[in-house]
A and B are shown apart, each in its own frame.
Chain A
Amino acid sequence: MLEIPLSALTAQVFTGLVIGMVFVLLAIGLSLIFGLMTVVNFAHGSLYMLGAYFGVFLIGLTGNFWLGLVLAPLMVGALGLLIERVLIRRLYGRSPDDPLLLTFGLSLILVEGVKLVWGKIGLTLDPPRAFAGALNLGFMTFPAYRLFVIVVTAAVLVGLWLFLARTNVGLIIRAGSRDPLMVRALGIDLSRIWLLVFGIGTALAGLAGILAGPMRGVYAEMGVTMVIESFVVVVVGGMGSLVGAVVAGILMGQVVGLTTFFAPKLAEIMVFVVMAVVLLVRPSGLFGETGLLE
């Protein structure tokens, strides 16, 4: 057996957790949008990419990372609202394939549009000065910014959970994903809820983008593989299940992190292998209900 220093392994587990957090933010947005609206948003990866670009732009403009961190996701969310209202709304009632096709076209437009505005060469996004170095945790040292990403994501998830579990709007969202017909029969205007959910989901993608920017670089194609891997996370977790998105996101982060450590060449492949195994054992995903949109 290979001798592996424990601290290196722990650090890798934490790295996997950071990757997992980005997956979770993307998958939870996808899952939220899918669960309520049965729309698969192919442009999710492009909005993630836009979050990073908006971040670079805002931080360059104001010189303040924190302002960018707050405003960039809001800008992406606003764009999401626009996309839902102007484009996707027209497709309700048609085949669920149609929104997927439309957002696919949209993702091409966004990627090429970003290249037109910011150029084809990638940009760099520096982490805030307060989190520039590494932190000694006693049992290992770890880049401070990555710990920050874990904390921010955890805080956002708790906030989202409180919103869905404790507020009236959250209640309507959960009810709407169970039985939209009944919710409408109760006199609730679901179209505004759809708009809101699309905004929240896309803002989460934007947040994932600006958080990932300092770690992975900012370039026009950065969302392409991410959206495919997020699809895999959603499939593994169970479509429309938020708990599933969180668990599967963290699981897939570990899969990527640990295979990168032990067998780097297999890192990209293992995600899909895990997906195939889950599909064979539990076709509806870890937390999925059968029969959703089939």
Chain B
Amino acid sequence: MSGRPAVRALTGWVAAHPVLSFFVFFAIFPFLLPYKALATQVLIFGLFALGFNLLYGYTGLLSFGHAAYYGLGAYGTGIALAKLQVGSLWAGLGAGLLLAAAGGAVIGFFCLQRRGIYFAMLTLAFAQLLYFIAFHLPDWTGGDDGLRGIPQLKLGLGASSLSLDSTLGFYYFSYALVGLAVAGLKRILDSPFGAVLQAIRENRDRAVACGYDVNRVRLLSFVFSALFAGLAGSLDALRLTVVPIEALYWTTSGQVVMMTLLGGAGTFFGPFVGAATFLVLEDRLSVFTESWPLVIGAIFSAFVLFLPSGIWGTLTGGLLHGHQGR
């Protein structure tokens, strides 16, 4: 039992200094894993889950279609680099972010017409629509085969340039960008806008009564969320040099939902904890059995039933869900 207060103190410190903790922990993270490629995956999917969590955990909107923005980011970057040959890594990233934000604005507008449980079904439907569109545009997306031939460009920084060929090189490039995103999210949540988001989640009617334009705030949150997901997709396209059509498929949306809930929705680090848990589980389980989704599905269901605040949420005290309706 003597370990308990130490864990509490550590998680408390991490929760109080999220950005610093991110940079410290992820600086050494690749050396804690069996192989370094997994570390980059955790970073990228952690970022994806971070974006999802902004909408679900902090705004209270459950999206079952976040594959759309991840996929738009990936295809935006992939098409800019492989088809349009823009020749600059930064321009490629920018194209991905732009496409994801535009998609988030349009789809968000439609889905926010309805609230509650409708919202989840609509986000899922629109993501599936994008999947079918991408499927039937093979000239741009590669269709069923995926988009291939994304060049591995050097990273231009002023006059110098940096090669991202090595696994560690790419890891620290992602580390820098994801770190910026983490700092950005912290800034958003600490702003008056972030306070309004959480006010809407807690009590929508009261937020309306206070004079906030709830739908505008929600749409903005949706677009921010899509931007984070888009950056994750963009980075993943650069990492793999391929965009598989599954990037837009509903299973990708399901993955980010599971990661966030495993880690703890509505907590700052839950998404990274969940992404790491999911990916390490997938990595270990797939050695033993082809049916690893069955095991992950069972674990996920057990979490929904018995541990709704997730791993990180439970460690830090689980303020969001508690154990209502026990």
Contacts and interface: CB of A to CB of B under 8 A. Distances in A.
A90 B305 contact: yes
A107 B297 CA distance: 8
Interface stretch (A136-144, A148-156, A224-232): A224-232
Given A100-B120, A228-B124, A269 B300 contact: no
Interface in A94-120: 94, 96-98, 100-102, 104-109, 111-113, 115-116
Contact of B297 (A92, A108, A224, A294): A108
Given A112-B293, A235-B121, A294 B301 contact: no
A interface secondary structure, majority: helix
A40 interface: yes
A90 to B, nearest CB: 6
B124 to A, nearest CB: 6
Given A100-B117, A293-B117, A294-B114, A269 B129 contact: yes
A106 B125 CA distance: 20
Contacts of B161: none
A279 B291 contact: no
A228 B261 CA distance: 22
A104 B126 contact: no
Nearest to B306: A90
A121 B264 CA distance: 36
B interface secondary structure, majority: helix
Interface in A18-46: 34, 38, 40
B160 interface: no
B84 interface: no
Contacts of A224: 250
Contacts of B129: 269, 272-273
A105 B300 contact: yes
B121 A105 contact: no
B166 interface: no
B291 A116 contact: yes
Interface size class of B (residues with CB under 8 A): 35 or more
Most buried by B among A97, A109, A116: A97
Contacts of B125: 228, 231-232, 235, 272, 275
A205 B114 CA distance: 26
Nearest to A239: B118
Interface string B270-302: 000000000000000000000101101110110
Most buried by A among B117, B128, B136, B298: B117
Contacts of A111: 293
Interface in B120-152: 120-122, 124-126, 128-129, 132-133, 135-136
A98 B308 CA distance: 9
A116 B291 CA distance: 7
B293 A108 contact: yes
A128 B128 CA distance: 35
A104 B254 contact: yes
Contacts of A91: 304-305, 325
A105 B136 CA distance: 30
Contacts of A276: 110, 126
Contacts of A106: 297, 301
Contacts of A231: 121, 124-125
B154 interface: no
B2 interface: no
A94 B257 CA distance: 18
Contacts of B116: 96, 293-294
Interface in A191-231: 224-225, 228, 231
Interface string A3-19: 00000000000000000
B122 A269 contact: no
A228 B128 contact: yes
Nearest to B115: A294
B62 interface: yes
B293 A283 contact: no
Most buried by B among A90, A107, A109: A109
Given A224-B250, A265-B136, 9 more contacts: A34-B117, A87-B305, A100-B120, A101-B300, A231-B125, A235-B118, A273-B129, A279-B113, A280-B113
Interface of B: 62, 64, 110, 113-118, 120-122, 124-126, 128-129, 132-133, 135-136, 250, 254, 257-258, 261, 291, 293-294, 296-298, 300-301, 304-305, 308, 324-325
6 contacts: A40-B117, A94-B324, A228-B250, A235-B118, A269-B136, A272-B126
> Which 4 A-B pairs give the minimum distances between C-beta atoms?
A108-B297, A93-B325, A105-B301, A112-B294
